[in-house]
Chains A and B, each alone.
Chain A
Amino acid sequence: EVQLVESGGGVVQPGGSLRLSCADSGSTFDDYTMHWVRQAPGKGLEWVSLINWDGSTTYYADSVKGRFTISRDNSKKSLFLHMNSLRSEDTAFYYCAKSVRYGSGRGDWFDPWGQGTLVTVSS
């Protein structure tokens, strides 16, 4: 069954903003670290950002640092990605995914993933 569903993608002009959402239909959303991963057209997977279970820890790829903000609402079992100052190189499918990160911060894996939402940055 589909557990993670992304939404909010669309066409936006360079310099614009967009907010992506990821809804979790599973039962234990707040047990998990959540991630955003993207895939530009014809390219491979690129990790974008993570947020830990209670939102107290966030990390970002250098390519989006200072422009994107990850957040979550555990009461609504939802993950968000606020994207500002969008550039053409941000055009991609954006996927959300779950992982379980242990104390060391190492050794986790992403499962499951959503099917993605497409963001197109173009004038």
Chain B
Amino acid sequence: KAGVTQTPRYLIKTRGQQVTLSCSPISGHRSVSWYQQTPGQGLQFLFEYFSETQRNKGNFPGRFSGRQFSNSRSEMNVSTLELGDSALYLCASSLDFRNEQFFGPGTRLTVL
């Protein structure tokens, strides 16, 4: 069974631009969560989608948004990029609530 895939793997943007990251979950998994990893803040939860609905949201500004499609694939968007948005963005999928979350390799975003 294929794992969680994320595209692109690396991205370089400049301040003020916007970016869209994509995540394809493990087949059959309906929950997709997004996390941000930075050296200073560690791994922090962004949001979770289940059956195309945002089920949970972390403490990030409204510039961070996401969506989930009917095939469970998910995208996250960051608008008006700031230098502090430079991070590894990780997507995780699971069958449902209280199941193990399996992570993709991440997208390394660098904002210049």
Binding between chains A and B: no
Binding site for A on B (CB under 8 A): none
Binding site for B on A (CB under 8 A): none
